[in-house]
Amino acid sequence: MGFYKFKENDIFRNRIKTNPKVEFFVHRGATYYNNYSVSGSNPSVPEGHLSLYDLNVGRVDSTTEPRQKLLASDVGTFARSELIHSFISKGASQASFKTIAGGPNDTEYFADKQWGDTISLTYPLTASLARHYFSASQGKRERLYALKNTLNYYSYLSPHYKVSSSHLNRDLTASSNVNPERPAGAFGAVPVNLLSIPSIFYGSAIRKGSIELNYYVTGTLVAQAKDKNKNGDIIQVGPPGSRGSGSTIGVALYNEGFMLLTASYNLHGQYLDFFESGVAEKPKWVNFGSKGFSNQRLVSSSFELKFEGTQYISTVTMLAHARKNDLEYSNNPTYKKQGQAIMLSPSGSISKYDSTYPKVYGTTMYIENNEQVAKNIISSSFIDSTGSYKKQTYISKIGIFDKHKNLIAIAKLATPIKKAIDRDLTFKLKLDI
């Protein structure tokens, strides 16, 4: 085996910027990711979710029917005995998961579990588009309060980010003196529609100018909104002549993966649907992404969210060189001509005979035959004949070693490459991290 050290110009480090396209479609209580049901091939993943790890793919929960799809509300409610799961045993070390306090007041750990009992967590861990609706009269708005500083920070991009503004008539804590029919509304005193997008879908950030929201009623597009100014404002752009066209309906937090929709004007004057309140309402932007009231799924309304993510992929490119007159010998036993082995005879002399083991060995010695020749594999134009002998090997694998010569990676070729003695070869190895 030949060892070669990478030189300065043999290793290149780059970072690739990609923009993966993402599309969510919500219809009749079901969420679809990029036009297909995510859980269709994995019965353990709820509808419209992505599994964060490649675990339990194709496995079925023993408490459900085979390949039965789970709803988002079912996550964590089953004892999934046939699914892979993390677990620890209650012991004297009192080791526990981070979600378990492990203190004397932790009744689950100290009272409900006996010594030696197994404590487990549920896999798979999943993520999907989440929606949180806050009505005008709702008192607790912890999620909105948590975003207050972030929203105010981005106010230099657009005044619509400001949580409290006399210009926009918005106040996070105000309970009166707010006009609910303003296109942008107020984050704290009018209905707010908060869309949360996990980072697994977009990577580092949502690409500015790529957001598109489409509101359909009975399959007809009644409203479309985009962040056309690339400053975070989500503006209704169509269809031409639609209600509220040109209005700012909300803002987007590109780096954090949130969209806040506050427009509460009617998008359609005829059709009604049961959203969060349980009372029939006309379509509004604050109802975007709703799956209906309680278990009653929407009949008329459907929603589409499109955007592009920003994903950075670090890559390492390595050039492995096979120079002339190098790598012309193989340790593969088939490289040598068959029937050249020598072994030590019982009398102590060296005798030759046919064997597949080319060596001399005994109780006090081990000598390889230095007269062995390589098998001639040079082809000839004549039948049952070979051409003139030339050294050549076939390269099938390339090993990458650290400075201590520990094997850390192997690159395999789809087809072995012939290496002749008078031939230079360079292999380009690319690793995406």
Q: Reply yes or no on whether the pLDDT at 304 is more than 90.
A: yes
Sign of CA dihedral 285, 288, 293, 298: positive
Residue indicated by tokens 């209704």: 236
Would you say residue 342 lies in a domain? yes
- Per the structure, how many domains does the chain have? 1
pLDDT by residue (tens digit) across 23-81? 999 887 788 888 766 544 555 666 667 777 767 666 666 555 444 444 444 444 444 44
- Is 233 contained in some domain? no
- The answer on pLDDT for 418 being more than 80 is yes
Domain annotation covers residue 361: yes
What does the pLDDT average to over 370-391?
71
Q: What is the pLDDT of residues 76-95, one digit of tens each?
A: 444 444 677 777 777 766 67
Quote the domain boundaries for residue 351.
338-372
Residue 153: pLDDT over 50: yes
The residue ranking higher by pLDDT, 61 or 232, is 232
- Alpha-carbon distance of 158 to 227, in angstroms, equals 12
**Pairing between β-strand 21-27 and β-strand 30-33 as defined by DSSP bridges:** antiparallel
For the ranges 5-14, 68-77, 136-145, 273-282, which has the lowest average pLDDT? 68-77
Give the chain's mean pLDDT.
Answer: 76
Residue 22 scores a pLDDT above 80: yes
The yes-or-no verdict on residue 187 having pLDDT over 70 is no
pLDDT score recorded for residue 294: 60
Mean pLDDT of 415-433: 89
Lowest mean pLDDT segment, chosen from 154-163, 187-196, 225-234: 187-196
More confident: 136 or 39: 136
Name the percent of the chain lying above pLDDT 90.
Answer: 27
- Residue 3 burial by CB count (10 A; 0-12/13-18/19+): exposed, middle or buried? exposed
Rg (CA), the chain: 34
Please indicate, yes or no, if residue 354 is contained in any of the structural domains.
Answer: yes
Which of 74-83, 144-153, 176-185, 267-276: highest mean pLDDT?
A: 144-153
Residue 169 falls within a domain, yes or no?
no
Tell me the average pLDDT across 218-243: 91
Domain contains 129: no
Mean pLDDT of 287-314: 84
Model confidence at 273: pLDDT above 80: no
Asked whether the predicted pLDDT for residue 291 surpasses 60, the reply is: yes
What is d(CA 143, CA 195) in angstroms, rounded to the nearest whole number?
Answer: 11
Residue 349, in any domain of the structure = yes
- Whole-model pTM over 0.75: no
Among residues 92, 85, 83, which one has the least CA distance to residue 57?
Answer: 83
User: What pLDDT sits at residue 214?
Assistant: 96
Give me the pLDDT at residue 170, please. Answer: 47
pLDDT (average), residues 210-238: 93
Q: Report the pLDDT value the prediction gives residue 180, as an integer from 0 to 100.
A: 36
Residue 100: is its pLDDT beyond 60?
no
Among 26-30, 63-67, 363-367, 373-377, the least confident range: 63-67
Answer for the pair 91, 20: CB distance below 8 angstroms, yes or no: no
Distance separating alpha carbons of residues 233 and 209, to the nearest angstrom: 10
Asked if the structure places residue 363 within a domain, the reply is yes
| Residue bearing the bigger pLDDT, 36 or 145 | 145
Mean pLDDT over 344-363 rounds to 51
